[in-house]
């Protein structure tokens, strides 16, 4: 990575705002868990397949039993694995699922600072998730001895005490850190997140900027379109719509412009129409749709907005 720091006379460093793009940052979740495995011999593989509580997966033509999920009852580790998976899903609330590369999200600085007015600010969320994971790791350490004690009876001849970590080792394997990283100027300049820097771009990078911006907006449009179509189809089919779905659409429409680091006006306008016409600024209630007239009118509005979103997506794709 390019040098993005400035140093004082004592050698202390801090990020130099003149060396980074200011519209967004990169986010990654680095995690590890109680997941160790060993290759089973033929007799062990056949025995593992006979134990219905054990899961196997194939690699190189053979079955491998992952000790982290199979050599102890999965229920003991489930709170940790569920929490880590939930954290990945929640990250998309802040980024809209926009990726810089596999596993690395792009978050706009507005969303980072404000949560779009819907969610808590990102740094508070980050600290809370990391802290709670530490507690869950400690909780797992407390039940791990019981999980190991139950293993011989559950696994029978497949049990091997060498497969098991010590309590401290199992605890230390579990971690999760959410990393925020500035985007250096000159390295990822094709994202064009800094308007003042755009003027310095060469022609070949300008083309890359256009494509990167289109991709980001297209991803957000896809999210909105899917949610709006979900409402439209539910109402058109005369099905019951839940308040959680209405609230979800409302929050998505509020946060989408904040997630958009390109400041696309069309996307902002369509998001505002969803809030005004479909969720009524957050006061729309499922009981409203007991009226066939309201349900029909809202379905038509949703269809129109969805069509405009799809049409705009087509424009961006050309």
Distance CA 218, CA 163 (A): 47
pLDDT at 205 (0 to 100)? 47
pLDDT at 192 over 90: no
* Structural contact between residues 94 and 111, judged by C-beta atoms closer than 8 angstroms: yes
pLDDT band of 301, cuts 50, 70, 90: very high
Secondary structure element (H or E) that encloses residue 176, with its range: strand 175-184
| Angle in degrees, CA 65, 71, 73, rounded to 5 | 125
Q: What is the pLDDT of residues 130-156, one digit of tens each?
A: 999 999 999 999 999 999 999 898 888
How many angstroms separate the Cα of 1 from the Cα of each of 4, 62, 241, 261? 8, 41, 48, 22
Tokens of 124: 């508070």
Measured CA to CA, the distance from residue 82 to residue 135 in angstroms comes to 14
Quote the DSSP letter at residue 163. G
**In this model, does residue 202 exceed pLDDT 90?**
no
**Residues near 168 by Cβ (< 8 Å), separated by ≥ 6?**
141
Q: Does the reported pTM lie above 0.85?
A: no
Domains by residue range for the chain, with CATH:
5-184 (no CATH), 204-317 (1.20.120)
Q: Are 26 and 36 in contact (CB under 8 A)?
A: no
Q: Dump pLDDT digits (tens) for 63-107.
A: 666 555 567 888 899 999 999 999 999 999 999 988 877 888 989
How would residue 43 be classed by pLDDT, with cut points 50, 70 and 90?
A: confident
């Amino acid at each position: 990575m390019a040098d993005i720091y400035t140093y004082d006379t004592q050698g202390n460093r801090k990020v130099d705002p003149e060396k980074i793009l200011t519209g967004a940052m990169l986010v990654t979740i680095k995690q590890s868990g109680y997941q160790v495995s060993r290759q089973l011999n033929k007799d062990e593989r056949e025995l593992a397949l006979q134990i219905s509580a054990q899961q196997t997966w194939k690699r190189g033509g053979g079955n491998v039993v992952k000790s982290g999920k199979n050599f102890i009852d999965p229920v003991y580790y489930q709170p940790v694995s569920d929490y880590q998976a939930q954290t990945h899903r929640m990250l998309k609330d802040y980024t809209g699922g926009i990726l810089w590369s596999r596993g690395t999200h792009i978050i706009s600085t507005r969303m980072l600072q404000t949560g779009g007015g819907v969610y808590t600010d990102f740094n508070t969320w980050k600290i809370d998730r990391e802290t709670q994971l530490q507690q869950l790791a400690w909780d797992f350490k407390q039940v791990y001895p019981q999980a190991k004690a139950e293993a011989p009876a559950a696994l029978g001849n497949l049990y091997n005490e060498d497969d098991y970590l010590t309590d401290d080792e199992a605890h230390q394997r579990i971690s999760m850190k959410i990393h925020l990283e500035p985007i250096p100027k000159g390295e990822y300049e094709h994202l064009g997140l800094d308007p003042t820097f755009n003027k310095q771009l060469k022609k070949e990078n300008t083309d890359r900027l256009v494509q990167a911006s289109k991709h980001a907006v297209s991803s957000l449009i896809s999210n909105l379109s899917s949610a709006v179509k979900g409402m439209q189809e539910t109402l058109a089919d005369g099905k019951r719509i839940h308040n959680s779905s209405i609230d979800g659409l409302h929050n998505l429409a509020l946060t989408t412009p904040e997630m958009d680091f390109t400041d696309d006006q069309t996307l902002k306008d369509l998001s505002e129409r969803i809030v005004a016409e479909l969720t009524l600024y957050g006061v729309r209630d499922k009981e409203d749709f007991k009226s066939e007239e309201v349900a029909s009118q809202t379905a038509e509005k949703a269809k129109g907005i969805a069509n405009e979103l799809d049409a705009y997506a087509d424009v961006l794709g050309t």
